[in-house]
Amino acid sequence: LAKTTQPISMDSYEGQEVNITCSHNNIATNDYITWYQQFPSQGPRFIIQGYKTKVTNEVASLFIPADRKSSTLSLPRVSLSDTAVYYCLVGGSSARQLTFGSGTQLTVLP
């Protein structure tokens, strides 16, 4: 199973762009990269998914270099409500493969 490594925590200020990088050196050819957000006492919420290059949706962008051994979640102009744990996952060819690590605790300060 592909493993991921991401920072334990990050701090940012309101209005800034936040980039959270995840490394996944053993990613397999058919693995996708997915990011989730989780607030306390809630289930995780899907943010974005990609395979290569760049993916953008209404809440975030996902940058994936050609070797796919890392990925960067970019959150534009964060607000206090973006304070949450962000999980990077790789996998997708089976339910068992989708493995959550410990995530990155993002704290947005006023």
Q: How are beta strands 53-56 and 45-50 bridged, if at all?
A: unpaired
Identify which of 28, 39, 40 has the alpha carbon closest to the alpha carbon of residue 99: 28
Range in contact with another protein (rule: CB under 8 A) among 12-20, 35-43, 59-67, 73-81: 35-43
Q: Which residue has the tokens 């990609």?
A: 50
Residues in contact with another protein, shown as a per-residue x/- string from 37 to 76 under the rule CB under 8 A: ----xxxxxx--x---------------------------
- Candidate residues 22, 62, 73, 89; the one interacting with another protein per rule CB under 8 A: 89
φ, ψ for residue 94, nearest 5 deg = -155, 160
Using CB under 8 A, list all residues that contact another protein. 32, 34, 41-46, 49, 85, 87, 89, 91-103
